């Protein structure tokens, strides 16, 4: 009988590999846990890291508090988008969505519960799913990405019920205005589009790159991240990361960040987190000032 042979990687080589991996890391997605104490971040290697926000924001926080409490391999390719329900963490990559139990993740037991794939035009088409959005009143999930459409999935049955069309290029991000109810979508075409869920119609378009204070032509016009608390919106990508007043379609604050941003999140109305082309998640405790960074 042949024996299995294992090879130990020298410590120095492993440290070099990990350093190179962090150097080339992009954080594509984030989601806050149902309890509000943890932040999940997904990267281009298919990994999801869980950070303790309560520990990192504590007055007694140490550098170790800004490291993941658990990291696991979720997808073969990049984790482009994530969202949390009251029990589950949903993550999406190339062409499919997966579900994980938060309770099991925090116990460091990460088993996939289920996976779903939207209806594509051909069986050979596997566009990335760049954005996930929960619509609690409908008990539905909206998915958007490389096929330029917004797909709605019934979370109870797993069936896909409608598709919204209007973007002329890849969709990168989604956000929900619950009071309206409207969905905001941003994409490669440089536009943030507002959709009325009652009529399934587009009701407003903001072409961010056409505003001089936001425009960064050398980075392009694409919108890579988007968040809203109903009256306000934060978006960025090619254009600078900017806070907007939605009713007046007016940019009010430009954040001093050079690199294009891939994800942005409001947290308890006070904290804004932004992530992009690095292994770090920047945390803002007031608008315009970066307090600290979480790191893979």
pLDDT one digit per residue (tens) for the chain, 296 residues: 444 444 455 656 777 756 777 777 888 888 999 999 999 999 999 999 999 988 888 888 888 888 999 999 999 999 999 999 999 999 999 999 999 999 999 888 888 999 999 988 777 778 999 999 999 999 999 999 999 999 999 999 999 999 999 999 999 999 998 777 899 999 999 999 999 998 999 999 999 999 999 999 999 999 988 988 878 899 999 999 899 998 899 999 888 777 787 667 776 655 456 666 667 777 766 665 666 788 87
- pLDDT of res. 58: 84
pTM of the predicted model, to two decimals?
0.78
Strand boundaries in 188-231, DSSP class E: 191-196, 201-207, 223-228
- pLDDT of res. 33: 94
Q: Which residue has the tokens 């993550």?
A: 91
Torsion of CA 235, 130, 98, 123, to 10 degrees: 160
> What whole-number distance in Å separates Cα of residue 295 and Cα of residue 31?
15
């Amino acid at each position: 009988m042949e024996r299995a042979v294992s090879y130990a990687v020298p410590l120095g080589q492993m440290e070099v590999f990990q350093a190179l991996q962090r150097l080339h890391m992009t954080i594509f997605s984030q989601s806050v846990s149902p309890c509000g104490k943890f932040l999940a971040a997904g990267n281009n290697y298919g990994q999801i890291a869980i950070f303790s926000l309560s520990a990192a924001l504590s007055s007694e926080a140490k550098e170790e508090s800004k490291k993941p409490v658990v990291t696991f391999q979720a997808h073969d390719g990049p984790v482009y988008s994530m969202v949390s329900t009251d029990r589950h963490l949903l993550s999406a990559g190339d062409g499919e969505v997966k579900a994980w139990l938060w309770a099991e993740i925090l116990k460091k037991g990460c088993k996939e519960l289920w996976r779903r794939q939207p209806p594509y035009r051909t069986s050979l088409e596997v566009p990335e799913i760049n954005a996930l959005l929960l619509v609690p009143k409908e008990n539905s999930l909206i998915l958007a990405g490389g096929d330029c459409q917004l797909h709605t999935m019934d979370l109870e049955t797993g069936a896909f019920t409608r598709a919204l069309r209007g973007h002329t290029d890849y969709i990168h991000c989604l956000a929900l205005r619950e009071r309206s109810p409207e969905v905001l979508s941003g994409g490669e075409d440089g536009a943030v589009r507002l959709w009325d869920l009652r009529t399934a119609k587009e009701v407003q378009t903001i072409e961010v790159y056409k505003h001089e204070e936001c425009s960064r032509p050398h980075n392009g016009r694409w919108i890579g991240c988007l968040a809203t608390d109903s009256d306000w919106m934060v978006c960025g990508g090619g254009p600078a990361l900017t806070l907007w007043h939605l009713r007046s379609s007016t940019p009010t604050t430009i954040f001093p960040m050079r690199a294009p941003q891939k994800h942005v999140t409001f947290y308890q109305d006070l904290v804004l987190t932004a992530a992009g082309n690095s292994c770090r998640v920047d945390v803002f405790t007031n608008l315009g000032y970066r307090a600290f960074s979480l790191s893979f």
